[in-house]
Amino acid sequence: MLNCLRYDNKNVLCYTIFGDDMKIKSFTLGHYRSNCYIVYKNEHAIVIDPGYESDEVIQFINNNNLIIDAIYLTHGHVDHVGGVKKIKALYNAKVYAPKKDEIWLIDSIYNHVGYPIPVDQYVHEGFRFNLDDIEFLVIETPGHSEGGTVLYAKDASICFSGDTLFFETIGRTDLPFSNFSSIKESIEKLYEMLPDETILYPGHGTKTTIEHEKNYNMFIKYKKQT
Ligand SMILES: [Zn+2]
């Protein structure tokens, strides 16, 4: 299983899983400093939350000869979806997004990208897909947005937590369709569901772990179930 975690000479985080390396490259993009991640193994890749069109991302894909199997959107907000159309067009990637955030993707009142985001498959709680032999599971975490999700890879002990759970803070809930009691429930669900050592890669800011947030997140405190 997970037996090694290190950075390679290009500052890409490497995990050795099932004998081969899985790598994670992160980019911080745009005005909102949104995190975009490329997860790849054996030249197959998924791109998570490409918020803005970025030459840096495209160059990285090309330099590493990556085949983009999928683009995954943790939620529908503009700063996570603005680069989807270009990457999809260049690499013919399949786009997955949460159904409950469709309004942010296609309705021009909420979508400020200027065109509807092309989605191939809308997903719900429990949807699974693979990158090579690594399985990713969609967990619904409403609150910051109605359709907010995290993407969890159990065998790698990693979770892309979108704008739900950040390093020592949480996603804002003052936006249309946001709800504080929902995000609280969602984070409590993650605290219960994910092992403490799970590394969280959030939509903004630095990475963290479930254990760290249980101990230091002042917004949603961990209450041990009895
Ligand atoms: Zn957001």
Whether 224 is in a domain gets the answer no
For residues 190 and 138, give the distance between their C-alpha atoms in angstroms, rounded to a whole number.
Answer: 12
Check residue 9 and give its pLDDT. Answer: 80
Dihedral sign computed on CA atoms, order 40, 112, 143, 121: negative
Q: Give the structural domain span for 112.
A: 2-216
Q: At what angle do helices 84-91 and 55-63 cross, to 10 degrees?
A: 30
Distance 56 CA to ligand 1 centre (A): 22
Cβ neighbors of 221 (< 8 A, separation 6 or more) are none
The pTM score is: 0.95
The answer to the question of residue 139 being in a domain is yes
Closest listed residue to residue 89, CA positions, set 102, 71, 103: 71
What is the DSSP annotation of 7-20? Answer: E-TTS-EEEEETTE
Give the CATH number of the domain where residue 17 resides: 3.60.15.10
Query: Structural domain tally of the chain?
Result: 1
What is the C-alpha separation between 126 and 111, in angstroms, rounded? 26
Which pLDDT score, from 0 to 100, does residue 216 have?
97
Distance 153 CA to ligand 1 centre (A): 21
Tokens of 161: 């937590």
Task: Tell me, in angstroms, the distance from the centre of ligand 1 to residue 9's CA.
Answer: 32
Distance 183 CA to ligand 1 centre (A): 12
Predicted local distance difference test score (pLDDT) of residue 20: 85
DSSP state of 99: G
Tell me, yes or no, whether 226 lies in a domain. Answer: no
Report how far ligand 1's centroid is from the alpha carbon of 24 (Å).
21
Q: How far is the CA of 42 from the centre of ligand 1 (A)?
A: 31
For residues 167 and 206, give the distance between their C-alpha atoms in angstroms, rounded to a whole number. Answer: 6
Q: Ligand 1 mean position to 92 CA, how many Å?
A: 25
CB-based contacts of 158, cutoff 8 Å, min separation 6: 15, 24, 152, 198, 199, 200, 201
Structural domain contains residue 222: no
Domain assignment present for 223: no
Ligand 1 center to 211 CA (angstroms) = 23
* Position 45 in a domain: yes
* DSSP helix, strand, coil percent of the chain (3-state; round to 5): 25, 35, 40
Cα 148 to ligand 1 centroid, rounded to whole Å: 8
**pLDDT tens track for 99-141:** 999 999 999 999 989 999 999 999 999 999 999 999 999 999 9
Find out whether 158 and 198 touch, Cβ atoms under 8 Å: yes
* Full pLDDT tens readout for the chain, 226 residues: 455 678 888 789 888 887 789 999 999 999 899 999 999 999 999 999 999 999 999 999 999 999 999 999 999 999 999 999 999 999 999 999 999 999 999 999 999 899 999 999 999 999 999 999 999 999 999 999 999 999 999 999 999 999 999 999 999 999 999 999 999 999 999 999 999 999 999 999 999 999 999 999 999 999 887 6
Neighbours of 193 (CB within 10 A): 14
The alpha carbon of 226 and the centre of ligand 1 are apart by a number of angstroms equal to 33
Q: What per-residue confidence (pLDDT) applies to 1? A: 45
